[in-house]
Structure 1
Amino acid sequence: MDILVRMACIVFLLFGLGIAAVSCRSHTLLYHITVVSAPTPGVPQYSIIMYVDGAQYGRYNSDIRQAQFFSPSLSPLSEHLEMQTRYAQAFEVWQRHRLNFLMGVFNKTKGGDRDTHIYQRKAACELRDDGTSGGYQEIAFDGKEFLAYDKEKVVYIPSTQEAVMVSHLWNKHYSSTNSKMFMEIDCIQHMKMYLPYISTDLEKKVPPKVKVSSSESESGTKLHCRVYGFYPRDVEVKWIKNGRDEIHSEEAAQILPNPDGTYQIRVSVGVTPEGGATYSCHIDHSSLEKAITVPFEPNKRSILYIIPVILASLVLLIALIALGVFICRKKKDPSGSHQRVSAEDKE
């Protein structure tokens, strides 16, 4: 497996599995866990990323070997952070063992780029305003989800037919009781601890910035609507034709995090240019009093640039034609000037 495929699998963990949508009457604490079987440049072999209500709040990885909070609001929880560091270091050993187990089950061997494999785990709990709670866990291997946790039966169930045999072995080798305890006790306790400190962060709203553009290819014209710098995460972005018809995108648009804690998304659609047709990008976000519409306007500067190029080409063409005519005339009457000179000499 080359480095591009490996990176695609890791992106699948962070964004493909998704972050659960958060309703206004609940809070969600979510952990993304990644274990890579072989060193990959720029990618930790083991990492945990923590989200609260879709916003990234903490991390741990095998490079820094230390749990970290991203928000200064959580800085008073230094003792808790040290405890999380110790837990993450121990948890790393357990998760590496699970990756090795899966590599053995799927008859994968170590050594070489093509034998690099990725174990992915997503664990989350939800705390509702009425005091009830919920949660879920999902496991993926090499970019494919294959196990989901059933906390009522306290077992992992297969997500695909291929995973049926693996689920039996998994439940036989690994106790699922700890997963239930984590979702119903530890995760909820941590969330209750974090919420008083980050409540102001969660209420923060940053309106989006928007940029529309187009590109040409052999397949036709594509319109792009880039929405960036917004918070919170949830946003609706869509292309509209002639002010009423929604254009469905064939590309899956994903909301991606920015280093400053805000988010970005790009929605692209393929269109066939039509005379008189108009296109606009519609954006709806909780930071806006009402949805905004940004029309797409073809780049007129490119047309203005082409016109002088065409004029210069025409001038050059006329000059070449004139030069050609002059040369042809000279060739047709090569002795005219010589005869006039001879007559003058005689006089």
Structure 2
Amino acid sequence: MACYISLVFLLGFPAVYSGSPTLQYYITMLSTAYPGLPQFSIIAFVDDVRYGRYNSDTRRAEPLIQSLMVFSEQLESLTKLAQQTELTQKLFMTLIMDLLNKTYDINYVFQIQAACVLHEDGTVDICKDTALDGKQLLVFDKERVEIVPVTQEAVLLAQWVNKQGYAKKYKIFMENECTQHLPSFLPCIKSYLDKKVPHVKLSGSESGTKLHCRVYGFYPRDVEVKWIKNGRDEIHSEEAAQILPNPDGTYQIRVSVGVTPEGGATYSCHIDHSSLENPLVVPFETETKNSHITYILIAVGVIVLFLAFGLGFFIQRRMKGFKDGQQSVNTNEQETTQQENIL
């Protein structure tokens, strides 16, 4: 199987799914320091699970999964390796700026995506792509084991990199990472994700002509989601539904269908996943009724609040009137007494 990694730069991390265990490193380097952002950072993934990170502010390799804390010796070596890579990339960034005639009055973003895929037969595929400000610059040719320029302006840069023998060094490093480190990480990743049950949220358009079934937080990746009308008729979606990764390594998908409002028609979303003993059926009407009940409860609460406020205001006015009347009576009695005393 060829090593295919979809490449999306601009500080975004693509979804990667090859069917075989994949180790990935995303490296970002800014040409100048920028407030609030580390100038250099590395984020490490196993498949779609972000398991570690390093940046120029902390200068430490940090595991993002608790079970990986046991690899203390590897963390120390990864920290040293990341620190060395940071220094190398700063020098490389300077070289890029000089060879491409860039000035430092603009903050350029240089990114590297390095990956290796470990197949069942023990073979390893290696990938590497680099970009500057979101535009592909260099790629790794695994057949010739050399760096190939994507644009004309990157020709001199590719020649310099190949002259230093970086392509061969990179191939050896990534093959070692995939055959030695990746297998040791996989059990931790698997136990961290081990069959997470999907969560479901249904919603519809205001006109009632479109229904959405969002399924999220599930693992493994494979899932079947479909809309059923009247308990038997499947509604086919006109939109292509994609399974997307979440930052915690789980997945999400949204299946939307167009419907024609009909009296008495019922709709339900059916989810089939390996974490479930039986397919999950979520009726759309349940959420609609709950929403209506919620609105009714809110309305009743507002009415009760106004009634309580009005009653309190009425009692306060009555008490004030009573006190004013009592005070008037007391005043009259005092005046009568005074007049009697004078007489």
Question: What's the secondary structure of 1:247's corresponding residue?
Answer: coil
- For 1:124 and 1:33, the matched residues in 2 are separated by 11
Q: Deviations over 1:2-43 (max 9, x none)?
A: xxxxxx922x2x2xx32233x3xx422222222233455654
Separation of aligned partners in 1, 2:250 and 2:87: 32
Structure 1: which 5+ runs fail to align?
A: 1-7, 310-347
Q: Deviations over 1:138-176 (max 9, x none)?
A: 223323445432212112345xxxx33145333212131
Corresponding letter in the other structure for 1:20: Y
> What is the rounded CA distance, in whole Å, between the counterparts of 1:147 and 1:286 in structure 2?
40
TM norm structure 1: 0.66
Per-residue deviation at 1:60?
A: 1.0
Q: Conserved in 2, the CA contact under 8 Å of 1:226 and 1:264?
A: no
Equivalents in 1 of 2:57, 2:234: separation in Å?
51
Say if 2:285 is the partner of 1:288.
no
Name which of 176, 179, 196 aligns with 2:170.
179
For 2:21, the aligned partner's letter is H
Q: Is the 8 A contact 1:156 1:167 kept in 2?
A: no
The amino acid that maps onto 1:52 is: V
1:171-208 Cα deviation digits (max 9, x unpaired): 2121312221122224422224434x627526721111
Query: Is the Cα contact below 8 Å between 2:225 and 2:272 reproduced in 1?
Result: no
| Aligned partners of 2:21 and 2:119 also within 8 Å | yes
Where does residue 201 of structure 2 map in the other structure?
A: 211
Is 2:71 the counterpart of 1:77?
A: yes
Counterpart of 2:87 in structure 1 is 93
Scaled by the length of structure 2, the TM-score of the pair is 0.66
- Cross-structure match for 1:135: 126
**2:263 paired with 1:263:** no
Aligned residue among 140, 151, 154 for 2:145: 154
Q: How many Å separate the matches in 1 of 2:241 and 2:176?
A: 39
Aligned ranges for residues 1-347 of structure 1 at < 5 Å? Answer: 9-10=10-11, 12=12, 14=13, 17-21=14-18, 23=19, 26-40=20-34, 42-103=36-97, 108-111=102-105, 115-157=106-148, 163-174=150-161, 175-195=166-186, 198=188, 201=191, 204-216=194-206, 223-232=211-220, 234-236=221-223, 238=225, 240=227, 242=229, 243-249=233-239, 254-258=244-248, 262-267=249-254, 269=256, 271=258, 273-275=260-262, 280-289=268-277, 291-297=279-285, 299-300=288-289
Relative to structure 1, the CA distance from residue 110 to residue 275 in structure 2 (aligned partners, 3 Å threshold; closer, same or farther) is farther
* CA deviations over 1:22-70 (Å, ceiling 9, x no partner): x3xx422222222233455654332212222332221111221101123
Mapped contact 2:219–2:251 kept (Cα < 8 A): no
Change (3 A) 1:67 1:303: closer
| Structure 2 residue aligned with 1:320 | none
How many residues get paired?
Answer: 280
Contact 2:228 2:269 in 1 (8 A): no
Q: CA RMSD in A?
A: 3.6
Bigger radius of gyration, 1 or 2?
Answer: 2
Specify whether residues 122 and 79 from structure 1 end up closer, same or farther in structure 2 by C-alpha distance, changes over 3 A only: same
The answer on whether the counterparts of 1:235 and 1:284 sit within 8 Å (CA) in structure 2 is no
Cα distance in 1 for residues equivalent to 2:54 and 2:138: 24
Contact preservation (8 Å) 1:59, 1:67: yes
**How much does 1:290 deviate?**
5.1
**Percent identical residues:** 40
Alpha-carbon distance between aligned partners in 2 of 1:146 and 1:214, rounded to the nearest angstrom: 44
